[in-house]
Structure 1
Amino acid sequence: MSSVLYVCVRPERSAADAEQRSFSRGLGLGMLDRIDLLHASLQTAEWQQYDGFVIGGSPFNVTDAGKGRQQLAVERDLERIAGRALDGETTALFTCYGIGVVTRMLGGEVHTDQPEQAGATRIVLTEAGLADPLFGPGGPHLSVFTAHKESARETPPGAVLLATNDVCTVQAYRVGERLYATQFHPEASPQDFADRMAVYRASGYFDPTQYDETERAVLSASVDGDDLLARFPRLVSV
């Protein structure tokens, strides 16, 4: 069995613990190791022993003004993981905040013109997405959860667009054969996402006065992220 590390970049412990459980379930792994980059650095961890990485979301934004030392250190560590995947030495899946880090690292632009409110959305695979071993088997469309304030303006240099929709142009891309980045959250079930909404109720991802309506819509949604994640360990082991 290939070893996969969950990389946590959430300050909120309850949301981080739940996200780890979500990734573990989606990947089909009974045990999923974790490193919390808000409390530990890759420089002090034996991270290069892992065959694959899944990077969770965060309330951080690449476009944040006046970043503190902690956020800057987190972004440097995420770039280290991305660099290793670019070199073909590991396989990595960056989600949400992580796609901004990778986009900027590759010389692309991260902007705030295409936010998506918390909820389920339908994304469409490109021709490259349909041919991709991680995305393609799921068919031409996927239903996934999104909640973000920033996104890549366009596919960054060297990347191949895998998925898009009418609201957010860049929903997923691949760089080389081993580095994936998604704007959406593939790990979250409807209940997972509803629980996360409670943590980030006042964080600007949806109108808090519409909380009950948003929660009902989330809980009634059907999403396909687990199917995508279930293929990731097999890709890692190739």
Structure 2
Amino acid sequence: MKRILVIQSRERKETVEAEQEEYCRVVEPLARVDFLSALDEKLAWTDPDEVLKEYGGIIIGGSGDFDLHGGRFEKDPARLMAMIILSRLRMFVKYAFAEELPVFGVCFGHQLIAQMHGGNVTRDETQTKTGTFEVCRTEEGKRDLLFKGLPDAFLVQYAHKDSVMALPQGAVLLATGPMCRFGALRYGKATYTTQFHPELSAERAIRKLNRDTCGYMPEGIADAASIVRESPEASQLIPAWIERVVT
């Protein structure tokens, strides 16, 4: 059976467990899933082969606790920790690219990989958003292995403060929108990243946002149900990646 490693960048027990539940629901029908914390200081971060050799693919998940910018002061602990995570995962991503090991970066994972390749991640108020929004496939997206079966426009779940500001080196733009210029990217043949959360159904997005303590909920919104809609097409992406890309 295929094996997937999910790398988490979360600190609080309840958000760690909630994210694990989401990925188990999405991945386990197709592959075995294991979890690793990017906060683990004892892990051999400089020896990615030792950690990754048993896996057919890696998912780098989101983070409500840390931001590469997030409108924080430069020496804010949450921003400093994000830079430590960036440093730790750099070797893993470099190894994955060299070995053509499939990677799927989600939200913070999307930003980390973009930052490693010159994507310039920062806080941009015109792109910061929470809730369900529409993205559109680019011409490249219409030909892509994962995106070619999707509608030209489809709904996705967002909750982010930072955004990728420039197309990263080696990346191909697959999906974009008026409030998210770099919604989905592909690097090479095996690495995909999305600023949105394809692992979240509407029900689970509402549950996640209603317990939010990281400042994602828009001002004046008491119940996330008012800003979240179903996103069935986006939910196909991770299963399609496992089936078509992961070996």
TM-score by length of 2: 0.85
Q: Which amino acid aligns with 2:107?
A: C
Separation (CA, whole Å) in 1 of partners of 2:151 and 2:42: 38
Runs of 4+ residues deviating >6 angstroms: none
Are 2:50 and 1:50 aligned? Answer: no
Are 2:112 and 1:101 aligned? Answer: yes
Q: 1:215 aligns with which of 204, 220, 225?
A: 225
Are the aligned partners of 1:117 and 1:146 in contact in 2 as well (CA < 8 Å)? yes
Are the aligned partners of 1:124 and 1:142 in contact in 2 as well (CA < 8 Å)? yes
1:38 aligns to what?
39
**Unpaired runs of at least 5, structure 1:** none
SS at match of 2:227: helix
- Greater RCO (Cα-Cα under 8 Å, separation 6 or more): 1
Deviations 1:93-152 (A, max 9, x none): 111112221112112212322333221111101111111112222232221100111111
Cα 1:179–1:42 change in 2 (3 A) is farther
SS at match of 2:154: strand
Which sits farther off after the overlay, 226-235 or 192-201?
A: 192-201
Are 2:83 and 1:78 aligned? Answer: no
Q: 1:144 aligns with which of 137, 156, 159?
A: 156
Q: 1:61 aligns with which of 37, 61, 67?
A: 67
2:6 aligns to what?
6
Deviation at 1:205, TM superposition (A): 1.4
Deviation at 1:77, TM superposition (A): 2.5
Q: 1:111 aligns with which of 114, 122, 132?
A: 122
Deviation at 1:30, TM superposition (A): 6.5
Q: Which amino acid aligns with 2:34?
A: D
2:15 aligns to what?
15
Cα 1:29–1:77 change in 2 (3 A) is farther
Q: Which has the higher helix share?
A: 1
Are the aligned partners of 2:122 and 2:165 in contact in 1 as well (CA < 8 Å)? yes
Say what the alpha-carbon RMSD is for the aligned residues. 2.2
**Unpaired runs of at least 5, structure 2:** none
Deviation at 1:83, TM superposition (A): 1.2
Q: Which amino acid aligns with 1:225?
A: A
1:235 aligns to what?
244
Are the aligned partners of 2:154 and 2:231 in contact in 1 as well (CA < 8 Å)? no
Are the aligned partners of 1:99 and 1:183 in contact in 2 as well (CA < 8 Å)? yes
**Percentage of matched positions with identical amino acids:** 29
SS at match of 2:182: coil
SS at match of 1:151: strand
Q: Which amino acid aligns with 1:224?
A: E
SS at match of 2:58: strand
SS at match of 1:87: helix
Separation (CA, whole Å) in 2 of partners of 1:87 and 1:30: 23
Are the aligned partners of 1:8 and 1:34 in contact in 2 as well (CA < 8 Å)? yes
